[in-house]
Amino acid sequence: MKELAGKTAFVTGAASGIGLGIATALAQAGAKVMLCDIEDAALSAALEQLRRTNVDVDGVKADVSLKAELVAAAEATTARYGKVHILVNNAGVGGGGPYGTWTDASWNWTLGVNLMATIWGIEIFGPLIEQHGEGGHIVSTASLAGLISGGSTAYNVSKYGVVALSEGLRPELAPRGIGVSVLCPGFIRTQIMDSTRNLPKRFEGATRPLPTSGPLAERINLVRQRISDGIDPMYVGELVREGIENDWPYIFTDLEFESVVDARFAAIKQGFDHIRGRDPKR
């Protein structure tokens, strides 16, 4: 995918944040982009904003945690553009708390949007990319939390899943002419902390009122501040464009957590060191 001009991209969670940044970067590179989002008003505003720059974009509303709606979005994309070359599984929510606060609804919502929608997106769009034989690329948005889990939340579990899926798919799809990248952003200026604004009714009970005092409240406020002061999503979009063009397996946004990732792998290595020299019984 060295040349994006004239290709078609499908981007979920595209009405704001990282998704809009990616859609913008791809459109400015000459790709035709179908923006997919659950939020009607934001989707309309994003399309209006992009069309002012004379790019070829369109939009489709879908709740990606429902497979049937992703299928319908794919049909709308092929009806509009004929082919799909690039899939960006970006839609995500920050639902669910740590051990002791888990609910079935929070797990179902978070895994549904963050992980199952990624799986379904690849299942649905993968064959569409293969069938034209022109090559393609799949990018799935995970998080640094997909490499260094900071707690027992559904969010972290879902993002580890996206990393594992992307790593496994990359060697499998390469012979078919499809590149695979996983995006692991740090603190980006998005609305991830306000994900409940789009909580479907079927997941009622997925969230509980946030604490207003104590250690957890302080941690939440710190994260909110870091996100508020975070990296520009448009910059992230340009990184993703570059990652697609150069077939990067991992796309990072900054170096802040590099040492923490190093420490995690050092701990894994130490686990092997504990049993080094032993002869396992067969």
> If we measure between CA atoms, which residue out of 220, 231, 221, 95 comes closest to residue 155?
95
Other Cβ atoms closer than 10 A to 222:
10
- The rounded distance, in Å, linking the Cα atoms of 91 and 10 is 12
Q: Is 207 helix (H, G, I), strand (E, B) or coil?
A: coil
Active-site option among 155, 160, 235, 250: 155
* 190 in Cβ contact with 17 (< 8 Å): yes
- 235 Rama sector, left if φ>0, alpha if ψ -120 to 50, beta otherwise: alpha
Residue 235: active-site member: no
Rg, the chain, Cα only: 19
- Alpha-carbon distances, residue 69 vs 49, 63, 64, 177, 253 (angstroms): 25, 6, 6, 27, 30
Containing 32, the helix (H) or strand (E) segment is strand 32-37
- Would you call 97 helix, strand, or coil by DSSP? coil
As a whole number of angstroms, the distance between CA 185 and CA 121 comes to 20
Residue with tokens 């604004």: 197
Handedness of CA 21, 26, 27, 28 (dihedral sign): positive
How far is 253 from 144, CA to CA, in rounded Å?
10
Alpha carbons within 13 A on the beta-carbon side of 142: 29
Annotated catalytic residues are 155
